[in-house]
């Protein structure tokens, strides 16, 4: 099959059996790959009701049709499983160099199934595939293990690891690659840890077949030329997402003190220019990227190297816990990366606990002696360690803010900032209805990457609640996740403004199958509805209530800054949901209708 390595590597960790299987042609035709393959395997191979941390769950690492080819930003990979955090669908996207290396080794995807009786790492060197003992690596940090394996196997190996957070089944443990790139959300690292897999190491020397190489080269050159000519290139490469805090702060969307407001008085210390001057050593990018947005940094204050902090980390481990010194945030970032937990969820969990402490719902005995107040960096560092190691209060916070609030009670559910059990990423939504809806309806929980709709809120009227905002959220939920299906980064489109429809002809040149941009969007919509049906299958009573927003945004006004006194209303949130379901062709409980499933050709996939 052109564009595919053509094989899936299936690793049964219980028995040690390793099989190479052909890539399913129907998936290539109807779901293309990436997260399309992930949901297909989950639906067909993980029995309904499976324990996310048990042997029946599977962890699927899948490349896309663009992976391994010279297309701008084609270095993205999808990790999917049944989420131990939400009980529903998890898909975590990560950049770096692993996705192309896997394809060069001859595999489009890896399926990890069962549970190993002892810690192992998966070694892949083209056709040679082995499970190797990882007893000496267990307990070590993610980046430490990456360094050890690179020394042991060679720099040409690309490596994904988990840290102690994954080993200890923290519900938002991540998988790390490239010394600081994270498949961060939904607990994919906990699932890898439950399987006793410490790392995956890959080296490959093969090529990826392309249907029409001449056409491909021409189109690829045009796409790179468009990136190079973009007026946005210089700023984006210089600051990456670290340029966002100042903008987010100005518009009152920078999460501050557990999303009590969207303006942080010390935000200037987190600004991209300050970060560049104080800690950045060099730029760092994924495979085939013409605009490396990663910043590799060194903090003298703490003596550690770290990739970042990127925007989400500055938001959740900066403003949200009230740290305004970029070196403090960089160290918190380093700890999360090395210990293998998601900075977004960790920042939320610690901010939630800080608010409980300041409201005297948690006392000093319960925090294990930690003065858990906003703005205390040592408290943040200690809690990151305790979460990753599940010590004291950290054990409860390792379950996520929804579970923590249910246990703590006393009204704390109102300030547990989550949807579907996943903590909200870095935009305050007191006064941003489109972004609020994007969080409510994202197919993994409150994550921004499915629809970054806040710019549309700003563009058409901040507080306006309208059907066009709903249409924009749905449009974004098809365009942006399509990149996760194709295995490419979306930022060349968003930040460099390259023509998004230019991906259709290059996919056609690679595969030899002519598909229009609308055809690709239809695949994305199919995948979106497939994942929605997965939630209905896996979560008892799933439906409309699972799309409700965090109470803070409609019960409490923002306490200060650019959006002081503003809040969403319950009625508006419900109106947005009504419109959303109607526009999607779903019923008012949020279930795709039979007609929608038939239109998308999904019924055959749901048996």
- Residues of this chain that interact with ligand SF4 (CB under 6 A) are 73, 75, 95, 285-286, 289, 291-294, 489, 491
Residues facing 10 on adjacent strands: 19, 111
Biggest alpha carbon distance in the chain? 68
**Cβ closest to ligand SF4, residue 88 vs residue 285:** 285
Q: What is the nearest approach in angstroms of ligand SF4 to the Cβ of residue 161?
A: 19
Rounded alpha-carbon distances, angstroms, from residue 59 to 13, 193, 259:
11, 11, 32
SS (H, E, C) 288-352: CCCCCCEEEEEECCCCEEEECCCHHHHHHCCHHHCCCCHHHHHHHHHHHHHHCECHHHHHHHHHH
**How far apart are CB 292 and ligand SF4 at their closest, in Å?**
5
CB 305 → ligand SF4: shortest distance, Å? 17
User: Can you read off the two tokens belonging to residue 310?
Assistant: 């990127």
Q: How far is the CB of 425 from ligand SF4 (least distance, A)?
A: 15
> In this structure, are residues 307 and 180 in contact, taking their beta carbons and an 8 Å threshold?
yes
How far apart are CB 38 and ligand SF4 at their closest, in Å?
Answer: 19
- Dist. CA 267–CA 329, nearest whole Å: 12
User: Rounded distance, CA 546 to CA 147, Å?
Assistant: 41
Contact yes or no for 102/160 (Cβ under 8 A): no
- b (16+ CB within 10 A) / e for 543-564: ebebbebbebbbeeebebbbbe
Q: What is the end-to-end Cα distance of the chain in Å, rounded?
A: 26
Nearer to ligand SF4, 34 or 294 (CB): 294
Cα–Cα nearest to 469, from 427, 435, 518, 426: 435
Nearer to ligand SF4, 294 or 308 (CB): 294
Rounded to whole angstroms, the Cα distance separating 229 from 496 reads 9
Q: Based on CB atoms, which residue is closest to ligand SF4, 208 or 573?
A: 208
Nearer to ligand SF4, 93 or 348 (CB): 93
Query: Using DSSP, how many helices (H) and how many strands (E) does the chain show?
Result: 25, 17
* Closest CB to ligand SF4 among residues 160, 384: 160
**CB of 272: closest distance to ligand SF4 in angstroms?**
14
The least CB distance from residue 165 to ligand SF4, in Å, is 22
**Least distance in Å: CB of 83 to ligand SF4?**
23
- Cα 259 from Cα 320, distance rounded (Å): 7
Task: Output 70 or 211, the one with its CB closest to ligand SF4.
Answer: 70
- Whole-number minimum distance, CB 492 to ligand SF4, in Å? 7
The two tokens of residue 503 are 């991906």
Nearer to ligand SF4, 176 or 382 (CB): 176
**Closer to ligand SF4 at the Cβ: 240 or 421?**
240
- The nearest distance, CB 484 to ligand SF4, in angstroms, is 12
Token code pair at residue 120 = 């192992």
Residue among 239 and 439 whose Cβ is closer to ligand SF4 = 239
């Amino acid at each position: 099959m052109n564009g595919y390595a053509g094989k899936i590597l299936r690793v049964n960790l219980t028995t040690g059996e390793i099989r190479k299987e052909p890539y399913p042609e129907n998936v290539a035709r109807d779901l293309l790959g990436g997260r399309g393959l992930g949901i297909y395997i989950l639906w067909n191979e993980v029995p309904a009701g499976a324990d996310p941390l048990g042997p029946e769950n599977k962890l699927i690492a899948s490349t896309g049709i663009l992976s391994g080819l010279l297309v701008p930003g084609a270095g993205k990979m999808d990790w999917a499983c049944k989420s131990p955090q939400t009980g529903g669908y998890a898909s975590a996207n990560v950049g770096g160099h692993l996705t192309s290396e896997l394809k060069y080794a001859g595999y489009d995807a890896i399926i990890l199934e069962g549970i190993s009786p002892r810690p192992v790492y998966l070694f892949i060197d083209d056709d040679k595939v082995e499970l190797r003992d990882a007893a000496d690596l267990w307990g070590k940090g993610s980046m430490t293990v990456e360094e050890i394996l690179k020394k042991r196997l060679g720099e040409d190996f690309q490596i994904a690891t988990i840290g102690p957070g994954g080993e200890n089944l923290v519900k938002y443990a991540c998988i790390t690659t490239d010394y600081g790139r994270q498949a961060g959300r939904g607990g994919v690292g906990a699932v890898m840890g439950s399987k006793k897999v410490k790392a995956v190491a890959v080296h490959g020397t093969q090529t990826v077949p392309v249907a029409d190489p001449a056409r491909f080269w021409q189109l690829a050159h045009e796409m790179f030329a468009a990136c190079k000519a973009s007026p946005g290139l210089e700023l984006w490469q210089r600051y990456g997402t670290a340029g966002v805090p100042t903008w987010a702060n100005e518009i009152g969307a920078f999460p501050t003190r557990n999303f009590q407001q969207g303006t942080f008085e010390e935000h200037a210390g987190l600004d991209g220019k300050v970060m560049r001057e104080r800690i950045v050593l060099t730029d760092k990018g994924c495979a085939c990227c013409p605009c490396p947005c990663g910043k590799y940094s060194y903090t003298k204050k703490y003596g550690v190297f770290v990739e970042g902090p990127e925007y989400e980390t500055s938001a959740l481990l900066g403003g949200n816990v009230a740290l305004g010194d970029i070196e403090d945030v960089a160290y918190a970032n380093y700890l999360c990366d090395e210990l293998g937990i998601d900075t977004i969820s960790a920042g939320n969990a610690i901010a939630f606990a800080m608010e409980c402490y300041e409201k005297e719902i948690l006392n000093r005995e319960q925090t294990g002696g930690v003065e858990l107040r906003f703005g205390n960096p040592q408290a943040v560092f200690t809690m990151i360690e305790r979460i990753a190691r599940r010590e004291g209060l950290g054990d409860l916070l390792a379950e996520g803010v929804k579970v923590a609030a249910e246990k703590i009670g006393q009204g704390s559910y109102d300030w547990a900032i989550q949807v579907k059990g996943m903590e909200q990423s870095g935009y305050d939504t007191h006064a941003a209805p489109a972004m609020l809806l994007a969080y409510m309806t994202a197919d993994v929980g409150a994550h921004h990457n499915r629809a970054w709709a806040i710019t549309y809120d700003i563009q058409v009227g901040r507080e306006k609640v309208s059907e066009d905002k709903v249409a924009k959220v749905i449009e974004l939920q098809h365009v942006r996740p399509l990149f996760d299906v194709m295995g490419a980064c979306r930022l060349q489109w968003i930040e460099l403004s390259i023509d998004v429809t230019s991906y259709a002809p290059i996919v056609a040149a690679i595969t030899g199958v002519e598909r229009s941009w609308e055809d690709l969007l239809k695949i994305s919509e199919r995948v979106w509805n497939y994942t929605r049906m997965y939630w209905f299958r896996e979560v008892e009573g799933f439906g409309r209530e699972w799309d409700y927003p965090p109470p803070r945004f409609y019960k409490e006004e923002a306490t200060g800054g650019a959006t002081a006194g503003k809040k969403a209303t319950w009625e508006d949130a419900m109106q947005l949901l009504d419109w959303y379901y109607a526009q999607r062709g779903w019923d008012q409980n949020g279930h795709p209708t039979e007609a929608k499933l038939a239109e998308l050709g999904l019924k055959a996939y749901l048996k």
